[in-house]
Structure 1
Amino acid sequence: MRATVERSHLLKSLNHVHRVVERRNTIPILANVLLRADGGLTLKATDLDLEITETVPAEIGQAGATTVPAHILYDIVRKLPDGAEVSLDTGDGSRLEVKAGRSRFALQVLPEADFPDLTAGDFPTRFVLPASALKRLIDRTQFAISTEETRYYLNGIYLHVVTVDGKPMLRAVATDGHRLAQAQLEAPSGAEGMAGVIVPRKTVGEIQKLVEEPEAELTVEISETKIRISIGSVVLTSKLIDGTFPDYVRVIPQGNDKILKVDKATFSGAVDRVSTVSSERGRAVKLALSDGKLELSVNNPDSGSASEEIAVEYPADAIEIGFNSKYLLDVASQLESETAEFRFADPGSPTLIQDDEAGNALYVLMPMRV
């Protein structure tokens, strides 16, 4: 294999693919990136659950393929000067020679034949949508993904199609048992019959990073066990979580009649300030609501107490309810309108939070004892 590629193209591509490679690997080939010279230079990296492939323009002197340590190659290319032409040459096949200007590197290689391939199989569901639309679904829900490994079926975003007012909607849902985030958009053509799938946390994070141009279009393909996303010259293939997502609709409260409307920025600032003295473990903040005002307070026996009062729109009966302050701030940061709407039932029941205007996202928070 012999190829010459511009440093900026190679670095951008390595930046996309090398993130998949775990720093510690018990299987040596998984620490490597596959380089294939054939019409262009194709790079591929995988951790057996997630695979990213990208092809960059290159001058091919001799077709061929090899694999080299991903993080080392990335660091080498990152440290080369801007505008450098990078030459990659396997010579007799025992080493990969990397040359740029007066710099020379010889890297250990492993054979291409050992490199695993995730992409086999058919993807019966296929649809196209703007990259910004998928990123918005992910951005508004991913903070609620569970990190608890025992409930592995909550370690991702549940992507599925539902019918709302006779219209098919592509919906994303994430929950960790304490909070739930739901966002949706009009289902693109081809998505109507798709089965519900759980996209793993690591894959969700990579999709967010790959959307560098929001106006670009991406293609989503789904099979029973895998999802494949193509954006520009990058193709991400990932296994799906093999599990059943819980019936989240039962958690979303329907009859909460105590409605609070509050300026989002004012509320976030007040929560942030009073939670400064909250304990790291509990992070509890109490909301005391009465006609036209909201008092936020924190009482921590170890460090002290704090309170702040803000004017709100709240015509219902007085109520006192506690929440994790971090969860409140997470939800507030995802709301798009200037006014946040909270719907309460009682201090022990889930609370519904959404934008004041009829948006396509909603959030559910479980209260805490304070």
Structure 2
Amino acid sequence: MVTLEDIRAARRRLQGQVLETPCVESRTLSQITGAQVFLKFENLQFTASFKERGACNKLSQLTAEEAARGVIAMSAGNHAQGVAYHAQRLGLRAVIVMPRFTPGVKVERTRSFGAEVVLVGDTLDAAREHALGLAREQGMTFVHPYDDEQIVAGQGTAGIEMLEQVPDLDCIVVAVGGGGWIAGIAVAAKAMKPGIELVGVQTLRFPSMYNAVKHQHLAQGTSTIAEGIAVGTPGHITEALVERYVDDLLLVDEGDIEQAIVMLLEIEKTLVEGAGAAPLAAMLKQPERFRGRKVGLVLGGGNIDPMLLAAIIERGMVRAGRLARVRVCARDVPGSLARITAIVGEAGANVDEVHHQRAFTLLAAQNVEIELVLQTRGREHIAAVLQALRAGGFEAEEQK
């Protein structure tokens, strides 16, 4: 089993190789949640993820013979980049097997570190089987993303840092995929401060560790925006450590994670991926569980596909009422659309899109249905815009 001394030894190896990231209070999130929230910014690592801690610890302990044969790993992206970057730094050959659904930004970044990328299968389990086969064929050292004591020890160095930076934390909340991240942090934190609570967070679509530890049988999905923790099977080493050191596991849905991503971007001006936002998502979903406590949230990574981020931001604006779809019925005569847009502008909203519908409507032939997508200041502003349109003689309603 991994011990605090193993993690302290890993920290000595990592000195100068990975960033000791800040752990600072977020006043705004503290006000919103009712707890004192401290954020550990692992998205500031060179590869934008905590994964390079474990990768660096593992690769720095290879024998000369193992180093000569090179390393192979399977990953949805962050572990891949961590292994590729430190392999390049140490002059090692690296082959990375990634599932086909991996975001392009992670694939290209991994290749940029000189690694040979192989895209195989639709799941991490399928990628792992292929990687293990290549490892046997080519005699390479397989670097598991989580089920490896050296990987766990490397990840645990963040736990030491957190309690050195904020010694009076009551609770640490960590995203859980295969379990290496939370296992390492939990071993370190519990050894340094036995009374601290460790809470893991998984997505409802991939509750593998939750099922294993809580002896549940929740169904598993096929995709999630938190692809970094989309793990079908937890590790044997990590499951044992989670059972021993982690106090609770919580589940969040896709909408919870989307909300957390947008809030971190807007409030903290920091970019996190789905897995990195999961801890905040859990806090926002169950604020009463953490209220009045000093809580450390670990922002595990910031590698998110730009197109996915754009969609999440837009959906977040819809949820907040800052982007609204309004249906207006009017007579189909010259000047109607101009009057409608003038009223909207005078009410302080901005027109984002206009759709004119004549054929696909139940209105009388001389009428037209106009759908506007508006940028507004929120729910109250939407109501004010609708009131102004109705006062101008138009039928208007918000489309959900």
TM-score (norm 1): 0.24
Higher fraction of helix? 2
Higher fraction of strand? 1
